[in-house]
Amino acid sequence: AQRVTQPEKLLSVFKGAPVELKCNYSYSGSPELFWYVQYSRQRLQLLLRHISRESIKGFTADLNKGETSFHLKKPFAQEEDSAMYYCALGSGGSNYKLTFGKGTLLTVNP
């Protein structure tokens, strides 16, 4: 069975500090990993996915199959990064579904 673990419910950093949101997964097949974000009063939206290998809003995430991790990083946090972040695992082929972690609430203090 697939599982996504985000060990931190809350994460607080100061503006300009580096931030890392942790995500570990459990899946026997070839994983597809995503980070979704929900800003205050907005709907859930895709931030980035591992296959794109892109940086969005300064965030990057690298899939580490050895450690089964997909941590989200940003070198210099901004106040507008304050939001709820969800790591998600896509799996199942023809029975495709997204399995979400419980989320990490990031607060960037001025």
Partner 1 sequence: EAGVTQSPTHLIKTRGQQATLRCSPISGHTSVYWYQQALGLGLQFLLWYDEGEERNRGNFPPRFSGRQFPNYSSELNVNALELEDSALYLCASSLEVVSADTQYFGPGTRLTVL
Q: How far is the CB of 43 from partner 1 (least distance, A)?
A: 5
Residue of 59, 74, 83, 99 that binds partner 1 (CB under 8 A): 99
12-51 positions binding partner 1, by CB under 8 A: 32, 34, 43-46, 49, 51
Please identify, among the stretches 20-28, 54-62, 74-82, 90-98, the one whose residues bind partner 1 according to the rule CB under 8 A.
90-98
49-88 positions binding partner 1, by CB under 8 A: 49, 51, 86
> Measured between alpha carbons, how far is 106 from 72 in angstroms, rounded to an integer?
12
Q: Does 90 bind partner 1 (CB under 8 A)?
A: yes
Please identify, among the stretches 11-19, 54-62, 71-79, 93-101, the one whose residues bind partner 1 according to the rule CB under 8 A.
93-101
Say if residues 61 and 75 touch (Cβ distance below 8 Å): no
Residue of 103, 104, 106, 108 that binds partner 1 (CB under 8 A): 103
> Measured between alpha carbons, how far is 81 from 70 in angstroms, rounded to an integer?
18
Say if residues 70 and 57 touch (Cβ distance below 8 Å): no
* Three-state DSSP state, 9: coil
**Do β-strands 45-49 and 32-38 pair in parallel, antiparallel, or remain unpaired?**
antiparallel
